[in-house]
Structure 1
Amino acid sequence: MAEDMQDIGDDKTLLLVDDDEAFLRRLAKAMEKRGFEVEIAGSVAAGRAIATNRPPAYAVCDLRLEDGNGLDVVEVIREKRPDSRIVVLTGYGAIATAVAAVKIGATDYLSKPADATDITNALLANGADLPPPPENPMSADRVRWEHIQRVYELCDRNVSETARRLNMHRRTLQRILAKRSPR
């Protein structure tokens, strides 16, 4: 790893935006231990307010929040502070949203579960250096399971509608939903 990769610099301000309160608090503690001055926001509205009044040097924004899209916060940060480094997090990794995040100004894009080390590496990576791959990425089976769960939730837990949207037989989907999540 590059020597300057772990150099935070003079401005250590970090904005964390996520509506998962337990994850947000754990990540805030971990990032404070790494030398960041952390501010947290549990919604797009709160994230936009902080970004407008106190634009951070670093930011980590969840893509999907209860009150909207985390990319709205990224836009405000980029507008107020073009030199900031921003990582977008999401539990629903997709190429289209990754492209949208980078076009709007995100520095990197990570799928959940991402830990504090992955996030720190992404925030502090040089432009040319890519951060190292995660220590324990999700398995393909886990990614598939997460996608099915997401579509199932978006269909208000309606098995028939979920099966139709996934182009899958309803009984096959029921068997998948009945099993425990893969590692």
Structure 2
Amino acid sequence: MSDTTETSENPRLLLVDDDKTFCMVLRQALEKRHFEVFVAHDLEAGIATAEEVEPEYAVIDLRIGHDSGLNMVKRLVELDDNTRIVMLTGFASIATAVEAIKLGAIHYLTKPADADEIMTALHKDAGDDKVEIKDKPLSVKRLEWEHLQKVLVEHDGNISAAARALGMHRRTLQRKLEKRPVKD
């Protein structure tokens, strides 16, 4: 939570990420940009903070410990559908990007993202028709990663249920998910 106890005129921003160093650096950068920043390092604290401070903006990590940041996006939208939410992730996936947007996030960025990129994303109202389209198709390993993410999202982040749907052992799925996706 913010160290400030008096009410600020600055817009409130909720930052939920389990990487404490990243949060500290990003918090400082966003406070310099005139935000009142509230930080949580797990889903439960993030929800409690959101209910208490009613943020206008939120920056949410996709994977918060073993929890899905998609649950945080859904809860923020339930509290106030005007909250401008940016989803961050070190594990970019088409399936999770689509779900984040469907749930109410306005943008999806891959880490490392700096404060300027996050600021641009928080204030972006429309898509960019100048985004580069790649000629090269995704690799088989990347397609596998995307498929695993899609099935995991379909089962609300429940690894056991996703593993059953995929016909694989839960531990095998966990190992595959822990690996970074192949860059294409």
- TM-score, normalised by the number of residues in structure 1: 0.64
Identity of aligned residues (%): 46
Shift of 1:129: 6.0
Shift of 1:128: 2.6
Q: How does 1:145-164 map to 2 (within 5 A)?
A: none
Aligned twin of 1:59: 58
Q: Which stretch shifts more, 91-100 or 68-77?
A: 68-77
Shift of 1:54: 2.0
Q: Does the 8 Å contact 1:16/1:41 carry over to 2?
A: yes
Aligned twin of 1:110: 109
Aligned twin of 1:12: 11
Q: How does 1:31-180 map to 2 (within 5 A)?
A: 31-125=30-124, 127-128=125-126, 130=128
Provide the C-alpha distance between the structure 2 equivalents of 1:52 and 1:123, rounded to a whole number of angstroms.
Answer: 20
Provide the C-alpha distance between the structure 1 equivalents of 2:103 and 2:50, rounded to a whole number of angstroms.
Answer: 15
SS of the residue corresponding to residue 86 of structure 2 reads: strand
Q: Does the 8 Å contact 1:11/1:57 carry over to 2?
A: no
Q: Does the 8 Å contact 2:10/2:34 carry over to 1?
A: no
Q: Does the 8 Å contact 1:52/1:76 carry over to 2?
A: no
Size of the alignment, in residue pairs?
132
Name segments (4+ residues, structure 1) moved above 6 Å: none
Shift of 1:118: 0.3
Residues 11 and 129 of structure 1, relative CA distance in 2, 3 Å threshold: farther
Shift of 1:63: 0.4
What 5-or-longer segments of structure 2 have no aligned partner? 1-8, 132-141, 146-171, 177-184
SS of the residue corresponding to residue 121 of structure 2 reads: helix
Aligned CA-pair RMSD: 2.9
